[in-house]
Structure 1
């Protein structure tokens, strides 16, 4: 099995490596590659940094671009053809080196490039699109993909509106560290210096620490004496220092020990609907999406609310009310946790293994 990811945030890589781990554990050979290793460094740097810049400093521009690409255009088709020419040779070489029976993509751009290769007959083995987001954009799917896998039936329903190939809701691919191997709540709280009856709120901004008005969000929660607030700043040292300076709650930078924080938490407040949200659902922590980032963040929030696994308050006052409700033993909290728990009833690798064993269908 060859899994194609991309080093853009943590979500795509996290899903790819977890799928590879499960496949290897089941006795299959699995290799993860980074799409960006197939492209010149300058192009990768421009792609990644322009994305990061827009999210931080020009979110309106990113939102308009996201909406623009709901429609096919000559400029988009030209861009995709160019990227196929740039990366295609390396991708096909990796497929041959891995002797892959199936290729799995966890990154939308990789899916589109591989889909083009499949449609041209250059990729001869089945192509699986593992969609890591709840929100489905037309550019997260491709008509020549053989099988699409999603994290929830809501996402599967939306994906079926764009493609004719099978779409299966398998649930997220998250590490057992945030589910079956999660530390005991009491032990996690003791290690973090938290009391058993604290109402613990994690405010997270992804691995890049991206988001608008995060200090304001943290202040609204941290100034409420009912809550103990811990802000996870990712790799954004400037945000971490700013929050430490004002003294709003506890602050953490990048950590590899997220399971401990999740085990100790009652609620996470996030803004992207990415990997941490999926991990929180796995860890049975209530999820709140507040002021989601443009584009996929807003799309994810809307889909997660439809799925019943997330709350999305619109104002700071509503945020405090929702967090109060979700840190207490309420029907709303119980319903949300039950809906989130149901996402993990299936094994995500089963359809991948099944299609790898089938005779490859004709490319479309």
Structure 2
């Protein structure tokens, strides 16, 4: 039995696809018996258990993080008391809070514990007490786990620095999809897409202003926005700027619908500003999904996998402070001039990072 435990983000009651869902999909495809537990990352959402073909969903809404963490602890404890974990089982726990409970049980049962670090930050919480607890649970999980899957090369480097280099295994945020990776058709080079939060942490206003500049040069330029955040402000900007024909805002969408949009897009955008400190050690899943379909990328140096974009020449990478509407527009035009070269390089990188192959090797299945 494989036990997968993770926190999950919800946007407007939509469960946002992440590393745990990719793992669940992989194990299901390999016909492995799997128990999937997801806990809401924020103060509201749903606790979800998928096991034996059934899904049990328990909505929750609380007023503080401390109360929420108490709920999380009790939820995992109830799961353990009801279903248990056997010596031959494999537990894959994403983030320190989930991993530490299983880490404490491991010496008594002896199951295989994989601590999956899907994000990391030296300053995860502004509250020093919360941050100290986070660091302690992280260290406890590292000491007792059998291996530590790291979502980015930046986290692998951090683990090596901390003395856990032998346990650290690089496993990027690449998707597992029914479609094979592919190059994109240059006919779609005017179709831009952005998937993510609609706020300053993703330089959304600079992107919208760049479309205004591009629309003066390219009559059929088009941007699709998927996600949530400052929805009303984004809609108002689009309307007030006269960009209703150039920009469509879809709001949050299930991952299967996002993938369908990416298939019909030409350039993927993810302009991290650095406002969220954990992004520095992150491996952007949205960038990995863009690359899967051969999209050239426009991003910043913030996510760890921006290094690969530079190395493989499959897009443009800015320093966060360099992001301006003018720079974004110039980058789009430059990519369009050599579109086939950029899509070829994105495709090559996607082939190297095929996650089902990497997971098969890590789990020996």
Deviates more, 1:238-247 or 1:325-334: 325-334
- Distance, in Å, in 2 between the alignment partners of 1:230 and 1:262 is 12
Alpha-carbon offset, residue 4 of structure 1 = 0.6
Higher strand share: 2
Distance 2:85 2:100 in 1: 21
Q: Give a deviation string over 1:13-40, Cα, whole Å, max 9, x none.
A: 5322221222122121012112353999
How big is each residue's C-alpha offset from its partner over 1:209-239, in whole Å with a ceiling of 9 and x where there is no partner?
A: 3444523321223431347232424244424
- Measured against aligned partners, the alpha-carbon deviations of 1:180-220 in whole angstroms (never above 9, x if no partner) come to 288x966xxxxxxxx926422212324xx344452332122
Kindly indicate whether the alpha-carbon contact (under 8 Å) linking 2:87 and 2:109 is maintained by their aligned counterparts in 1.
Answer: no
SS for the counterpart of 2:92 is strand
- Name the counterpart of 1:288: 298
1:250-261 aligned at under 5 Å gives the runs 250-251=247-248, 252-256=250-254, 257-261=257-261
Shift of 1:102: 0.8
- The SS at the match of 1:3 is strand
Matches of 2:156 and 2:204 in 1, distance apart? 31
Q: 1:343, CA displacement in angstroms?
A: 1.8
For 1:53-101, what per-residue CA distance to the aligned partner results, in whole angstroms no more than 9, with x for missing partners? Answer: xxxxxxxxxxxxxxxxxxxxxxxxxx9xx78864552353366179970
Q: Give me the whole-angstrom Cα distance separating, in 1, the residues matched to 2:73 and 2:172.
A: 33
Aligned to 1:324: 333
2:112 paired with 1:126 = yes
Question: How does the TM-score come out when normalised to structure 2?
Answer: 0.65
Mapped partners of 1:258, 1:196: distance in 2:
20
Partner of 1:223: 213
Note the C-alpha offset of 1:241. Answer: 2.6
1:106-145 correspondence runs (5 A): 106-115=94-103, 117-118=104-105, 121=107, 124-133=110-119, 139=135, 142-143=141-142, 144-145=144-145
Judged with a 3 Å threshold, the aligned counterparts in structure 2 of structure 1 residues 180 and 131 are, in CA distance, closer, same or farther, namely: farther
From 205, 225, 228, the counterpart of 1:232: 225
Alpha carbons 2:117, 2:148 under 8 Å: kept: yes
8 Å Cα contact 1:201-1:265 kept in structure 2:
yes
Q: Does 1:203 align with 2:212?
A: no
- Listed one character per residue, the Cα deviations across residues 299-322 of structure 1 (whole Å, up to 9, x for unaligned) are xx2422333366234221332333
Q: Indicate conservation of the 8 Å contact 2:293/2:347, yes or no.
A: no
**How many pairs are equivalent?**
300
- Give deviations 1:259-297, integer Å, cap 9, x for gaps: 22212222211236543222112222222225xxxxxxx
Secondary structure at the aligned position of 1:5 is classed as: strand
Q: Which residue of 1 aligns with 2:64?
A: 46
Q: C-alpha root-mean-square deviation of aligned residues, in Å? A: 4.1
| Maintained 8 Å contact 2:181/2:294 | no
Q: 1:315 aligns with which of 310, 323, 328?
A: 323
Return the structure number with greater relative CO, CA threshold 8 A, min gap 6.
Answer: 1
Secondary structure of 1:303's counterpart equals coil
In structure 1, distance between residues paired with 2:4 and 2:24: 7
Contact 1:12/1:107, CA 8 A, preserved across alignment: no
Closer/same/farther in 2, CA of residues 146 and 13 from structure 1, 3 Å limit: farther
What TM-score results when the alignment is normalised by the length of structure 1?
A: 0.65
Partner residue, 1:350: 360
